[in-house]
A and B are shown apart, each in its own frame.
Chain A
Amino acid sequence: MMEKQYFQFDGLILENGTFFGPVTLAYETLGTLNDDRSNAILICHALTGDSHVAGTEDGGKKGWWDIMVGPGKAVDTDRYFVICSNILGGCMGSTGPSSIDPATGDPYGLTFPVVTIHDMVAAQKRLVDHLGITRLHSVIGGSLGGMQVLSWCYHFPDMVRSAVVLASTLRHSALAIAFNEVARQAIVSDPEWNKGHYYGTSFPATGLSVARMIGHITYLSDESMRQKFGRKLQDKEDFSFDFDTDFQVESYLRYQGAKFVERFDANSLLYITKAADYFDLSKYLDYDEVLMKLKDAAVKFLVVSYTSDWLYPTYQSREIVKVLKRNSLDVSFCEIEADCGHDAFLLPSDRLASMLSGFLSGVGPAGERRHP
């Protein structure tokens, strides 16, 4: 049975230059930390994930990556000590816009600062420090989690031995920003949003569910939607000739939207999508010092993309690979054939499982350079 734990600290200086605190991070761990604290793996969750990465929670809910993480699985918790924390700005136990501001006694709402991927990672680093771990065997993440992995490598190269970046990017593209902006507009144009002050009074359920519907489209693909829904109608023989649900795909999106509203905070979605949009490591990569540090530390990279992912297409993963290659860093890359779109990294895949487990085994126990 997995139990959510909480780590509190005074706060941190954010990328925007201001101090923010106190901060609470909700996290879960699996497996056992070994005596020299060298077997820890940090898993970074995606946009709407949480700290419950694997195992079974109270109430029987399985973790979001239970297929890959557990005893004898690709990320083997018999060997590794796995940590997963909810991101700063989230709403699954870590400090975010729905948390109470101790200064006022009310939820932060829009007084919560705009945080970045780096801020999320800086908070995670405090947690890793707190657990007494100086170097992570690996940092693993897909999508927004992959951005956190890259940010970890960039900001704390001495603390990682290997990095796994799945279906992610060095910088958010115009297409990805565009979808996020439509999602945000759906929320802020809902009158119930009330400029972010809705806690305890109302909830922008319509806006948030439309935002989720848009998100879901970007996680699928033309091919997967064609296979899953085609033009099939929902519980009817013919068109209704009104604006109720006609097609199965409409029904599916509405269902996903409605389900999401029950578990996610609208303001958190605004903040997290903004953090993703701000993400651009490519502008820093002229700065060779970090790449040299990663090289000196012999950090191993595994980059994986999916053929039908149109949110973070393969060329964006290749961009990551290219930068690492140019600097003679140790990088592996595989584009997995999949027709289910961006979501593929969350679905069962023997291919990913065998690569992950082989890659993690190949990471040196101490991570020292073999050829000084």
Chain B
Amino acid sequence: MIRYDLSIIENWIEPGSRVLGLGCGDGELLYALKTKKNVEERGIEQSEEGVSACIGKGLSVIQGDFNTELSDYPDQCFDYVILSQTLQQVYEPAGLIRSMLRIGKKAVVSFPNFGHYRIRLQLLLSGYVPVTEQLPYQWYDTPNIRVLTIRDFERFSKDVGFRILKEVAINTTDRDMHGSIVRFLPNVRATYGLFLIGKERG
């Protein structure tokens, strides 16, 4: 069984396409895409554990830093470039998204929504920096250097200049294994935002 947010991304991907996963971890999503959607998969992952787990599953994954690895790929050589739950850890998000849309026809970006009501309430009521299931770190040990809300990402698309093709907000439970789509007040009620994006027209 695949994590709920990943199952949504899986549904977006056309069968038989070429997919690059950035920070693909142990390859859960890429493996599902390869076996169920017959995609031609590639991945970039920094940790030796993750990379070796991926290769052990027969996935094609390179160990490295995706902030620097993308420059080697030719233009438009992927149908999709996926950045799952990692945007909040990227040093230069605008540059990364431009690179993703250079090498890929479309990109998938998902991130924990910092606008969720529990986060808002925690800060308001406790006065401490919020710690949640989706963002489980303390301020002093978090890799999440730039938390954002769903609304932030929408504005970001206009600033950077890319198109949002699909947008889904989800609310997850059970360590994100289960969930549902949030249509009413997504920026308050959703734990994650998921976006399918493309280049601006013209």
Contact = CB atoms under 8 A, between A and B. Distances in A.
Contact of A334 (B18, B55, B58, B72): B55
Interface stretch (B60-68, B109-117, B127-135): B60-68
A334 B52 contact: yes
Given A328-B73, A334-B48, A358 B62 contact: no
For chain B, the bracket of interface size reads 20 to 34
B139 to A, nearest CB: 30
Contacts, number: 68
A247 B60 CA distance: 46
B64 A333 contact: yes
A79 to B, nearest CB: 14
Interface in A323-372: 325-328, 330-337, 351, 354-355, 357-359, 361-362, 370-371
A183 interface: no
B48 A331 contact: no
B112 to A, nearest CB: 29
Given A302-B55, A333-B62, A337-B48, A322 B72 contact: yes
Interface string B28-57: 000000000010101000001001101111
Residue picked from A330, A334, A358, A361, most chain B C-beta under 10 Å: A334
Given A326-B73, A354-B56, A370 B38 contact: yes
Contact of B40 (A322, A351, A362, A371): A371
Interface string B60-99: 1111100001001110010000000000000000000000
A326 B40 contact: no
A358 B58 contact: yes
Nearest to B77: A328
Contacts of A336: 48, 52
Closest 7 CB pairs of A and B: A362-B58, A358-B56, A355-B55, A354-B56, A333-B62, A325-B72, A334-B51
A53 B55 CA distance: 24
B136 interface: no
Given A328-B74, A328-B77, A361-B58, A334 B38 contact: no
A325 B74 CA distance: 9
Contacts of A357: 56
A337 B61 CA distance: 17
Contacts of B38: 370
Contacts of A302: 55
B40 A331 contact: no
Contacts of B52: 334, 336, 351, 354-355
B16 interface: yes
Nearest to B103: A328
Contact of B62 (A325, A355, A371): A325
